[in-house]
Amino acid sequence: MIETFTYEALPIRVRFGRGTIAEAGAEVARLGASRALVLTTPQQAGEGERLGSLLGPAFAGLFSGATMHTPVAVTQEAILALHAAGADCVVSLGGGSTTGLGKALALRTGVRQLCIPTTYAGSEMTPILGETRDGRKTTIRSLDVLPEAVIYDVDLTVGLPPALSATSGVNAIAHAVEALYAKDRNPVISLMAQDAIRTLSSALPILVHEPDNMEARGMALHGAWLAGCCLGAVGMALHHKLCHTLGGTFDLPHAETHTIVLPHAVAYNAPAAPEAMAAITRAIGAPDAAQGLFDLVRVLGVPRALKDIGMPAEGIETAADLAAENPYWNPRPVTRDGVRDLIARAYAGERPGARVSAEEAA
């Protein structure tokens, strides 16, 4: 059977390897820029200063206020810093929080971006920005926020604590998983998604026990790049809607939320996406996609319950209401009762399960 599909490659330059951060100055020049504002979280300010020394005369300053969920108030502070520095580009060093801030600046000012990821978030490969205002997280998709260039340096991930390696990696797996049953999926992205899941699920258990294993580090970063390409190329579904809702409403840690929710979202969608489930089981080497992902999280030794990362019990009903409002496209219809059951399981840390209504079964 010949499948009809659309595949659109994104205009982004990628440099991958070890020690590649040394090429940051050359990449800034390639962008046609001469004054770079380095962005980091407060915890990575020291790394930002060291990057500044590598940039030399192109280093215009450091803004180290990036934080989770890209609050609009922080973006407004960063715009002032950008103008004060006279910067004509930003260099985002860190994970999804820093990358998100760079995208928010690009959206509002048109500034060019070089991303240097230090986690497996994958957002550096996407034209997607999620930002938070008044406790509500919204998402936009626009080429205006797509970074022009990315440097992947495997050496920069060595300092990731094992738990953060694990949750950041499962967050990346989530991008690939949802790409397999996306409404606009295509064969190219599906191949990348399967390889990303296979690579990450193989590398992460090694990294938990051997954080300095450079071969596994390289595999994980390569898998995260593939997963980021998936996230950037096709739409996401229920899992991402839930995680944005939970994270923005209850200020939950991003990667941990994705890690906990993913097996439950997969279980919910399993009846409606058998081909995607078969691809996931092949990639992770398990007989059931949702159970296999849950067991992967268990092996990694990271939280499996939303209650353990700060979600209040009374938030289950609130989250169900919000997730059912204007839901993303999803292979299985999104019902409030079904989503509430999913969230309740994830809150308690139970093994995933899917309940199919009589109407759906018919």
Residue-level pLDDT at 356: 41
pLDDT band at 357 (very low <50, low <70, confident <90, very high): very low
Q: Which has more confidence, 1 or 72?
A: 72
Structure tokens at 286: 């398990």
Residue-level pLDDT at 361: 32
pLDDT band at 359 (very low <50, low <70, confident <90, very high): very low
Q: Is the CATH number 3.40.50.1970 carried by domain 13-157?
A: yes
Question: Coil, strand or helix: which one is 326?
Answer: coil
pLDDT tens for each residue of 8-33: 888 999 999 999 999 999 999 999 99
Cβ within 8 Å of residue 99, ≥6 positions away: 92, 115, 117, 121, 123, 124, 147
Domain residue extents for the chain? 13-157, 162-361
Task: Please determine, for residue 360, whether its predicted confidence score (pLDDT) is greater than 60.
Answer: no
Burial class (CB in 10 A: 0-12, 13-18, 19+), 174: buried
Residue-level pLDDT at 1: 67
Chain Cα centroid distance, residue 103: 14
Q: At which residue do the structure tokens 């939950």 appear?
A: 252
pLDDT average, residue stretch 290-312: 97
Question: Which DSSP state fits 354?
Answer: -
Q: Which CATH number is associated with domain 162-361?
A: 1.20.1090.10
pLDDT tens for each residue of 71-116: 999 999 999 999 999 999 999 999 989 999 999 999 999 999 999 9
